[in-house]
Every structure is written in structure tokens, then in C-alpha cells.
Structure 1
């Protein structure tokens, strides 16, 4: 049986490829009302590229030339969005002024000492952590303190630095209704060799995926508060480092990410640690260039650390 001269499989494959291409190209048109479906799609947007080999294999299996040609559409859209990240050299050319490690170390981490040693082995000038418990704080200080003598800790976030820190202060990014004990942000000025740079270390509220969709209202509100603080900050050179519980494509973070620059290359998926599917741990900049980001090996956390190379313009 044919449909307009085409086999049913031709029609199915062409429609599937067209749908995949449209979903990628027009992801911002997916509504983000109930269930935050737009944010959910954008969190895993790179994985829509898997539709190309799946549809391509079906086209070969069914001997559908039309279906095989139709696969070029979602492939082209994927390369348009992510090709720069995928095709860029693994290493951006040096030199770098600053190396930053970002890691949600997990408050239930059974091996904080091993995690701290893994972060130390990255040989970064700055080590930013989240979910730092009072008991684990001493462990991280014991491991990192000798090489990173400058420290700033507020609530559950911390920053260890090779370079001197000044103007250290807490940052209030609490969504409405959250208790005062919810302390997940700090700001400090780092006296790096290339010049001073302001660093925010933050941990936005968690999101949950359930039958009703993605629950991200608190995270989105916190991102908007942080975006306002960043926008009002007079610093010429600024980094936001932390667990944002979202990707840079997620429109829920736009009030923050629209004010900053993301690394131009490298997926560096960081969560979940055992089989990472998204990078929700970020190093974003303003007035600086985050030239390269990469994910490091697993630690005792459910996140992987990410390493960023930064040039101070």
C-alpha cells in the first residue's frame, strides 16, 4: 500500500524527521506554563540529536531513501545549535589567567576527604563547592587549606582560593517563603595575577520531575534574584560559579544567563555522576572569557566536578 506514491514508512520517517527538526529549531515556542515543558525540553535538548541515528537506521532497514534524506533536516538543525560545541577542539588555546573547579560535593557524601583530594588534584586556582556540611567543612579545609589558604564559606557554599580574597559577603538568593537558614550564596573579590575578578558562588533550589512535569518555580525565582544582583554589581569582571540546577539552554534561568556568557565549546555533562546527561554545574562570566569547560571524574558525589579555564580580558 502506498500513500501518494510513497510507502507508509516513507511518510512516517519523513514526518518523524520533520518533527524532530521542528522541535529542536522551535524549542522556545514550546509553552512553559503548567509542567514547565519548555524547560524540561531545553534541559535535555542536545539529546534530540539521537533521533538522527534512530531514524537513519529505520530508513536503512525499511530501504526508504526519502526517510534517509529527511534525516538531514534534524541533523542540520542539531549542528546549527550544537555544532560549535561538538566540533570545537578539545582544548581552547592558552594561556589562561585563572582555572576554576566547580563541584556540588553532596551533603551525603561518604568520602569527603577523597572528594577534596580529587579537587586538589585538578590544580585549580579556585575551588567552589556546594552542599558543604559543618562536619565536612573541616575535612575540606584540612585537604585544601595548605595550597588554597584563602577561604570564604557561607551556609552550604564555599570558596577556596590560591589568591587573596577580599570584600567577602553573603548573597541572599532565597525565594519567597524560604527560611533565613537557607544560605546558598556568597560573593568575593579574587586578587588574581591578571587582575581582580568578582566571584559569586551559588546553589539554586533543586527541581523535581514528576507526573505534573518539572517543578522549577523556586529555582526560577532564585535565578531571577541572582540575575538582578549580577546586573546591579559594578564589577567589570565577574564570574558566577555554582550548581544552577539547570542548563544554559533552560529558559527558566534566562534572567541570569542572559546577563552572562557561557563557554563556547564542550558539553561537559556533570549530572548524574554515574551517567551524566546534562551540565547543571556552571561557570559563567561577564567581562571575562570562559574559554573551556570540561567534566572531571566521579567523586563521592552525585555530581561530577567541572573544570573551567578563564581569561581575564
Structure 2
């Protein structure tokens, strides 16, 4: 009998030790993720850790439950602190709105889509655009996709465009209900941008709309982290150029940034007056990629940034044929930004 009790006690101790070790490991990962999120990324491993940051609160909750079950008071206190800290970071970005009052304004609806090398369903895409958009921005635009969209009636509703189609994933462009004037600024490495000024009735300063695509840090079979870094740096310079070229006019930049809000380099883009639409509206955690798997999208790499304008709403929409969910945003453009 005593031998049986001793064996049972050993089993309990072993399980408690394993649970404690798991708790420590999960907490260590959670703390590392918080630290990595706060600093500029310097390698692919850090990027992977940062991408998982939205799920760190769940991991910390598991650690808290394990610590309580193991009766590890100190670990439970640490786990509770990590849960609170990580929730504060994630909740504030996705769920707390930070609206901007732009005074008298006109709403412009923006549809932004990655076409997956032109494979997005043209009829669905054009129907969605006609129903819900005034301006459309796309990446991975191919010559075949341009023809398919034209056949589906895109040009009937959006007669103005700046299109730079290419084979594979290198093409990009935009369509508009409003007349456009293409903006040509110095181009930067590993970043594709099509930009235009919109002639919007009633708006004193023509707003600028840009379609963007930054190279993925994990493109194909190569470690393209350095290329992604060049793309981010180039994009920041492009945004600075847009601000200088348009001020005090509005700027809308939409597309596939191949970056999540938990990457410091992406958050650094939201300076010089630029703000992320989700952060403005508190729209919630709505991942956009990958959207063509049996499981739901896991990460948010498609974004809409605004300057001298305010995002009123943003949501994701399924796009058949693409591996990204599309974004539908409503942006308030001030009629006269110089008027108090």
C-alpha cells in the first residue's frame, strides 16, 4: 500500500514538474515576443516570433492556467502580468478606435486586393468593386488579369486607371471612378507602387491614392528578409515623398505590405501623419492571409494607411482565386483641410 502511494506521489510530482517546465517555456516565449515586437527586426527568426504576437495572450493564458493548477504562486503572478501586458498591446491596436475629425468631408470607398498572380476571380472582383468602391488598388496584376477585368466590365465603371501589369507577382495598379493624374516619384528597391492624384468634386486639394506591394520576407525558396527590409525602407521614403508632394492634401496608401502590425518596421511607417485604418477604427483582429487554406487566415499583412484623412471603416472580404482577403475601407477626405 505504501509502495503504491509512493509511486502515485512520484507520478504527481513528475506531472507537476512537466507542467511547471511547460509554464516556464510558454512564459519565456511570451516575454521574448513582447520584447521582439518592440524592437526593429533584424533577422527572419525575430520576424517569425513577431508574427505570432497576436496569439501570445492566448499562450500566456495557458501558462496562467498551468501555473494555477501546479500551485506555483510566483509563476501565476508572472503569467497574469504577461497576460495583462500582451492584451493591452493587442487590444489597443485592434479594438480601441482613435478617430480623427476632419471636418466637412466626402467619403471615398477603397477596395484593395492582392490578386495572387492574376488568379482572382474577375467576375466576383468586378462585381464587388462596382458595388462597394470608388477606387480600386491591386497587386500581382498580370496582363491576363487586365484583360479579364476589362471583359467583366471593370472599365465601364472605373474608366480611369494607372496599370503596370507584369507576369507573376510583380504587377500592380489602380482603377478609379474619378479622373486621375499619374504621380511619378523616384522608385525604390523591392517596392512596387502605382500612384495618382484624384480629381474629386468639391475637394480643394486633389487627394493622392497609391497601390503598394512590398516583397515578402519569405518569398519562394530563398531567405528574402534583407530584400523585405529594403522594401520597407523604400516604402518609408515613398511615403515621405507623397507627404511632401501633396501636403496639405490627403494621401491613401493601400495594398500588400507583407508586414503585420507587430513588426516594428511596419509601425514605423505610421509616422509623419500616416495612420493605419484598423488602429483608427478599432475594426478588430481580421487576418488577411492565407485565405485559400482549410483553416482561416492567420496574419494581417494587408493594410490601408491614411494621411490628412480619416478611415471611417474597414473590413475584410473573401476573394475567390486569391490567397489574400481583400480590404474594403471608407476614407473621409476633407473638403478643405486648411479650414479650421
TM above 0.5, yes or no, is: yes
Q: Deviations over 1:126-155 (max 9, x none)?
A: 111111111110222343222222222123
Partner Cα separation in structure 2 for residue 61 and residue 23 of structure 1: 24
TM-aligned CA deviation for residue 188 of structure 1:
0.3
Contact 1:101 1:308 in 2 (8 A): yes
Residues 31 and 192 of structure 1, relative CA distance in 2, 3 Å threshold: closer
TM-aligned CA deviation for residue 61 of structure 1:
4.8
Greater shift in the superposed pair: 142-151 or 248-257: 248-257
Structure 2 counterpart SS, 1:300: coil
TM-aligned CA deviation for residue 197 of structure 1:
1.0
Tell me if 1:272 matches 2:290.
yes
Partner Cα separation in structure 2 for residue 193 and residue 45 of structure 1: 43
Structure 2 counterpart SS, 1:295: strand
TM-aligned CA deviation for residue 220 of structure 1:
1.8
Counterpart for residue 71 of structure 1:
79
Greater shift in the superposed pair: 131-140 or 59-68: 59-68
TM-aligned CA deviation for residue 170 of structure 1:
4.6
Counterpart for residue 315 of structure 2:
294
Between structures 1 and 2, the one with greater helix share: 2
Residues 96 and 20 of structure 1, relative CA distance in 2, 3 Å threshold: farther
Structure 1: 5+ residue stretches without partners: 2-6
The count of aligned residue pairs is 298
What do you get for the CA RMSD once the two structures are aligned? 3.5
Q: Deviations over 1:94-119 (max 9, x none)?
A: 99722211100111516333333344
Counterpart for residue 238 of structure 1:
251
Counterpart for residue 249 of structure 1:
262
Structure 2: 5+ residue stretches without partners: 1-8, 10-15, 166-170, 335-340
Partner Cα separation in structure 2 for residue 64 and residue 54 of structure 1: 14
Contact 2:27 2:63 in 1 (8 A): no
Residues 10 and 154 of structure 1, relative CA distance in 2, 3 Å threshold: closer
Partner Cα separation in structure 1 for residue 93 and residue 264 of structure 2: 19
Tell me if 1:103 matches 2:130.
no
Contact 1:207 1:216 in 2 (8 A): yes
Partner Cα separation in structure 2 for residue 65 and residue 30 of structure 1: 31
Tell me if 1:151 matches 2:172.
no
Residues 29 and 83 of structure 1, relative CA distance in 2, 3 Å threshold: closer
Contact 2:117 2:141 in 1 (8 A): yes
Greater shift in the superposed pair: 9-18 or 286-295: 9-18
Q: Deviations over 1:25-77 (max 9, x none)?
A: 322566744x3333332233212122133224434554555554443212211
Residues 64 and 49 of structure 1, relative CA distance in 2, 3 Å threshold: same
TM-score by length of 2: 0.74
Contact 2:34 2:53 in 1 (8 A): no
Contact 2:178 2:200 in 1 (8 A): yes
